[in-house]
Structure 1
Amino acid sequence: MKNVILKHKHDKKYRDGYLVLEEADIFDRDTMTEGERFVLKTSEGAELGLFYYGRQNRGAGYKIGDDLETRLDVSYFKGLFEDAKGEREALYNAEHTNAFRVYNGEGDGLGGFTVDDYDGHFLIQWYSKGIYYYKDEIVESLREVFHYKTLHEKLRFDKNVPTHRISEESVEFPIIITENNLFYTIHFEEGPMTGLFLDQRDVRNKIMSLDLEGPMLNLFAYSGGFSVAAAKNGMETVSVDIAKRSLELIEQNFALNEINVDKQLLYTMDVFDMLKYCLRKRMKFDLIVIDPPSFSRSKKKRFSVKDNYNELIEGALPVLNRGGYLVLSTNASNYTLPHFKKMINETLDGRRFEITDIMGLPKDFRTTTHYKPSKYLKVVFVKILD
Structure 2
Amino acid sequence: MTQPSIRLKRGEGRAFKAGGPWIYDNEIGEILGDPADGDVVAIQDYNGYPLGVGFLNRASTIAVRVLSRKADAVIDEAFLEARVRAAWQYRKDTVDTSSCRVIFGEADFLPGLVVDKFSDVLVVESLALGIDKLKSTILKLLVDVLAEDGISIRGIYERSDAKVRLKEGMERVKGFLSEPFDPVVEIVENGVRYQVDVAEGQKTGFFLDQKYNRLAIQPLAKGGRVLDCFTHTGAFALNAAKGGAREVLGVDASQLGVDQATRNAELNGMSDRVRFECHDVFELLPELEKKGEQFDLVILDPPAFTKSRASVKKAVTGYREINLRGLKLVKNGGYLATCSCSHFMTPELFTKTIGEAARDAHRRLRQVEYRTQSPDHPVLWGADQSLYLKFYIFQVVDDR
Does the TM-score normalized on the shorter chain lie above 0.5?
Answer: yes
Aligned to 1:259: 270
Q: Does 1:151 align with 2:151?
A: no
| 1:168-183 equivalence runs, <5 A | 168=179, 170-183=180-193
Aligned to 1:348: 358
Aligned equivalents of 1:200, 1:371: Cα separation in 2: 20
Identity, in percent, stands at 25
Aligned to 1:334: 344
The letter for the 1-side match of 2:253 is I
Contact persistence 1:62–1:110 (CA under 8 A): no
Matching residue within 38, 47, 50 for 2:53: 50
Q: Quick check: 243-252 or 34-43, which moved more?
A: 34-43
Structure 2: gaps of 5 or more residues = 148-152
Structure 1: gaps of 5 or more residues = none
Query: Measured at CA, do residues 224 and 49 of structure 1 come closer, stay the same or move farther in structure 2, by a change above 3 Å?
Result: same
Q: Secondary structure at the match of 2:6?
A: strand
| 1:1-386 equivalence runs, <5 A | 1-29=3-31, 32-54=35-57, 58-90=61-93, 98-147=98-147, 148-155=153-160, 156=162, 157=165, 161-168=172-179, 170-190=180-200, 192-210=202-220, 212-235=222-245, 236-261=247-272, 263-295=273-305, 304-349=314-359, 351-386=363-398
Normalising by the residue count of structure 1, what TM-score does the alignment of the two structures yield? 0.89
The letter for the 1-side match of 2:371 is M
Contact persistence 1:293–1:305 (CA under 8 A): no
In the TM superposition, what is the alpha-carbon distance from 1:312 to its structure 2 partner? 1.0
* Residue-by-residue CA offset, 1:316-348 (whole Å, 9 max, x unaligned): 222211112111111111222122212222332
The letter for the 1-side match of 2:259 is E
In the TM superposition, what is the alpha-carbon distance from 1:161 to its structure 2 partner? 4.4
The letter for the 1-side match of 2:266 is A
* Residue-by-residue CA offset, 1:232-278 (whole Å, 9 max, x unaligned): 222211111111101101101101111024x4342222111011111
Residues matched between the structures, number = 378
Aligned equivalents of 1:56, 1:361: Cα separation in 2: 31
In the TM superposition, what is the alpha-carbon distance from 1:44 to its structure 2 partner? 4.3
Q: Quick check: 248-257 or 20-29, which moved more?
A: 20-29
In the TM superposition, what is the alpha-carbon distance from 1:230 to its structure 2 partner? 0.8
Query: Measured at CA, do residues 283 and 211 of structure 1 come closer, stay the same or move farther in structure 2, by a change above 3 Å?
Result: closer
Contact persistence 1:106–1:367 (CA under 8 A): no
Aligned equivalents of 1:289, 1:186: Cα separation in 2: 22
Aligned equivalents of 1:307, 1:54: Cα separation in 2: 36
In the TM superposition, what is the alpha-carbon distance from 1:109 to its structure 2 partner? 1.9
Contact persistence 1:294–1:304 (CA under 8 A): no
RMSD: 2.7
Aligned equivalents of 1:361, 1:7: Cα separation in 2: 36
Query: Measured at CA, do residues 352 and 296 of structure 1 come closer, stay the same or move farther in structure 2, by a change above 3 Å?
Result: closer
Q: Secondary structure at the match of 1:293?
A: coil
Query: Measured at CA, do residues 293 and 177 of structure 1 come closer, stay the same or move farther in structure 2, by a change above 3 Å?
Result: same
In the TM superposition, what is the alpha-carbon distance from 1:133 to its structure 2 partner? 1.3
Contact persistence 2:302–2:339 (CA under 8 A): yes
Q: Quick check: 24-33 or 190-199, which moved more?
A: 24-33
Q: Secondary structure at the match of 1:210?
A: helix
In the TM superposition, what is the alpha-carbon distance from 1:225 to its structure 2 partner? 0.4
Aligned equivalents of 1:206, 1:186: Cα separation in 2: 22
Contact persistence 2:103–2:116 (CA under 8 A): yes
Aligned equivalents of 1:74, 1:181: Cα separation in 2: 38
Contact persistence 2:306–2:315 (CA under 8 A): no
Query: Measured at CA, do residues 270 and 23 of structure 1 come closer, stay the same or move farther in structure 2, by a change above 3 Å?
Result: farther
Q: Quick check: 136-145 or 360-369, which moved more?
A: 136-145
Aligned equivalents of 2:234, 2:91: Cα separation in 1: 26
